[in-house]
Structure 1
Amino acid sequence: MSQATTEKDRALYSIRSRADHLRHTISLLEARLAWHPLTQWPYFLSQFQVISKQLENIMMLKDDEELPESMHHFVCMPRMATPTPGEIPLLLRTREDPEMEKHDEEVLAADRPLKRKGSWSWEELDHQKSTHTEVIEKLEKEFKETSDKLLKEKIRVGKFQDKAKPVGTQGFIYKYMETGQWSG
């Protein structure tokens, strides 16, 4: 085996082990999110810092002497193909989807007539602010009235009253099993 081959193998092993460490850290974070949703933010921030450092270590391999010069020109080969080959141009696209660009242009064009000569006057801005505030206050008032009305209806029906638990019929059988005396 030549010196270059062993050097490449060692570099690939280093990359693979660092990627495995990163994968493991991310899977632990995903599990923590799934099973302990009430975890505090400082824990997640520290884990994201660890992930960031691990990514930085992988990216630094390019600059280190660990990675031979000949390996800088290799591209990784995906293990799985895309289920539908028609998606490949979409995945390689650098511009937005033409439909999205058209929609963005329509939204911008609808906004342009509102502006006069590229700027707003203070009176117009103040009027828009007060109009917006009035609409929000009106919505808040309607939501409060509707929720109060619904709450009163629910209470009147009695859905929030405590109901007595049914008396168990099996209690005396368990007492018989424990004491051996029949009381039923």
Structure 2
Amino acid sequence: MKIGLYFGSFNPIHIGHLVIANHLAEYSDLDQVWFVVTPHNPFKKKSSLLDNYQRLEMVYRATKDYTKLKPSDIEFNLSQPNYTVNTLAYLQEKYPYYEFALIMGEDNLKSFHKWKNHDVILENHHIYVYPRISKHNPDNHQDKTQFDGHKKIHLVNAPIMQLSSTFIRKSIKAGKNVQPMLPQHVWEYLDEMNFYK
């Protein structure tokens, strides 16, 4: 089984995340996509970041109707600060019969060469890259990177989503209706818990 790992704080998870994950689960050779909720970094003060388990609960609620999308709290028990290369090694050890791949936006691919042991990641895992509109060059979002043409990197023609969790949090604080931007179960949970207000 081939699993795509979609890392993020998911603060909150929104329909853009679901559209990209579902596109990869349906239109690539990935069998499942796991939403890996990244834990609160204890060295960073970020008051707008909800508790780890509240964000995991939102991912659970967002994905429960999709058989190919799963929430994952795998990083909650790894020592902090954690690096993706460590998470991948841990998962490979825990699930030796699964093949793990990374999912990232084009913007992350540009800085991928700065990741800890990025060469080890590329040696052992495929990377699926979804498009983002570049701020520098909005007409041509396929900016060149040093990884162009790499056999382990797959550019996926997923829909371009211009929706961010930051925008949603600010909108909630400003009293705007963000219901269409969130999976219904997530919106109900946020509303019930009065998050981000």
Query: When the two structures are superposed, what TM-score results if normalisation uses the length of structure 1?
Result: 0.23
Greater share of residues in helix: 1
Q: Normalising to structure 2: TM-score of the pair? A: 0.22
Larger RCO, structures 1/2 (Cα 8 Å, 6+ apart): 2
Higher strand share: 2
